[in-house]
A and B are shown apart, each in its own frame.
Chain A
Amino acid sequence: MKARIWGARGSLPVALTHKQIRTKLLAALEGAIGRDLDTAEKIAGYVDDLPFELRGTYGGNSSCVEVEAWDTDAIHEHIILDLGSGVRALAGAKLARYGPGKPQTYHVLMSHLHWDHIMGFPFFTPAYIPGNRIIIYGCHEELETAFRRQQEPISFPVAFHQLGANIEFVQIEPGVPTQIRDVTVTAKLQLHAGDSYGYRLEKNGKALIYSTDSEHKLDNAAERVAFVDFFRDADLVIFDAMYSLADSISVKADWGHSSNVVGVELCQLAGVRQLCLFHHEPIYDDAQISRVLAETRRYAEITGEAPLDIVSAYDGMEITL
């Protein structure tokens, strides 16, 4: 399986400002002084060696992750986790690869129905193309209502019923495995306003967890045990690490999000191989997200528990399990 991040940002899409780009350019150019970068190759090598927060960006699209579980050139079916603004770029990539003439099936697993997780759907061009099939799975009773409502005339010029694809909604139950081809999907209830659900995807002995918009109450031992079981021995956990621990249990308690520190602790208790920090705070710039990543890696060392590989999600990132 492979995870491809299309939207890593929490709550609200953001974009780099001209000042932030200028700051990156100045730092990169100052670092180049005296380095004799007189060929394109040397320049490219220098840029590639710069810290990620200088040469790149974590991106600004809201939650959307693709899971590639089979050869999608042979089997035209795709798995998507959430339909935040990142799904617009996903749609463009699929159309570029397959063209509008080859019908595709999209299996979409919804963590919950808050705006930042559904806002990309009206811009998901495959939904407009007859022949495509879109199956939206979720545990919320209001699943279909949420998608139809955001395309009512007061909010969007194209109504849901005008979409050309065949769109289906499938209600699933937490704890009851669902098959998407040869991938087993199990949902778990999470603490978030209006509820959210994490997903465990398993295939051929590999396991991927998608657990975003999920608050963890530290004094609830039973909940901790339940999440450790849900994460158990996973190859990858994509985890809501939006806040610092201090914020998540003080001024932002009950806001429905978690922290890097709790992500490390749960993953180490569960024997997880890799933790991917996700749902980045929109006010964080690239330097701040890189700082959080470095601190999280350090915390995983300090605990003295099992080694844990840690990455921070960015738009365009690919992780092979």
Chain B
Amino acid sequence: MELQPTQEGSTVVLKPSGRIDHTHADAFKLALDPHLADCRKDGASLVIDFSNVSYISSIGLRALMVAIKQVKAQGGRMVLAALQPLVLEVFTISRFDMLFEIFPDRAAALAAVGSAS
């Protein structure tokens, strides 16, 4: 899965797209993994822009949980932004909204992690 990484100040923004379900979750995880190592204390924060993601299933959520555990252990910060209403509902139903910092749009996420342009 192409995550279209862009640098916004000291923050890396990733932008997955499509459905992150049983078919695509492995590709999402493989694409996300290389960006996690640098997301540490005094390193680059990560913003994942979900605006092009139409659905995420349990296994996609698990990939995110594995990622946030690694990032937190490193002292880094990874936040989510611009979830489509249906995807935000999945986060609420699964209670993943309790595990992540979620912002309404990319600008709010960047401002929160300190890379507002």
Contact = CB atoms under 8 A, between A and B. Distances in A.
A265 B57 contact: yes
A295 interface: yes
B86 A302 contact: yes
A20 interface: no
B42 interface: no
A246 B92 CA distance: 10
Interface string B89-101: 1101111101100
A247 B99 CA distance: 10
Contacts of B61: 245-246, 249
Interface centre among A246, A259, A296 (most CB of B within 10 A): A246
B59 interface: yes
A96 interface: no
Contact of B95 (A244, A262, A265): A244
A302 B19 CA distance: 12
A218 to B, nearest CB: 5
Nearest to A216: B58
Given A244-B94, A245-B95, A246-B95, A304 B55 contact: yes
Given A245-B95, A246-B95, A250-B99, A302 B89 contact: yes
B67 to A, nearest CB: 13
Contacts of B22: 224, 265
Contacts of A244: 94-95
Nearest to A217: B62
B59 A245 contact: no
Contact of B65 (A250, A265, A302, A303): A250
A169 interface: no
B93 A298 contact: yes
B59 A218 contact: yes
Contacts of B89: 298-299, 302
A261 interface: yes
B55 A218 contact: no
Interface in B51-102: 55, 57-59, 61-62, 65, 86, 89-90, 92-96, 98-99
A192 B65 CA distance: 22
Interface of A: 218-219, 224, 244-247, 249-250, 259-262, 265, 295-296, 298-299, 302-304
27 contacts: A218-B59, A218-B62, A219-B59, A219-B62, A224-B22, A244-B95, A245-B93, A245-B94, A245-B96, A246-B65, A246-B94, A246-B95, A246-B98, A247-B95, A249-B62, A250-B99, A260-B93, A261-B93, A261-B94, A262-B58, A295-B92, A298-B93, A299-B94, A302-B86, A302-B90, A302-B93, A304-B55
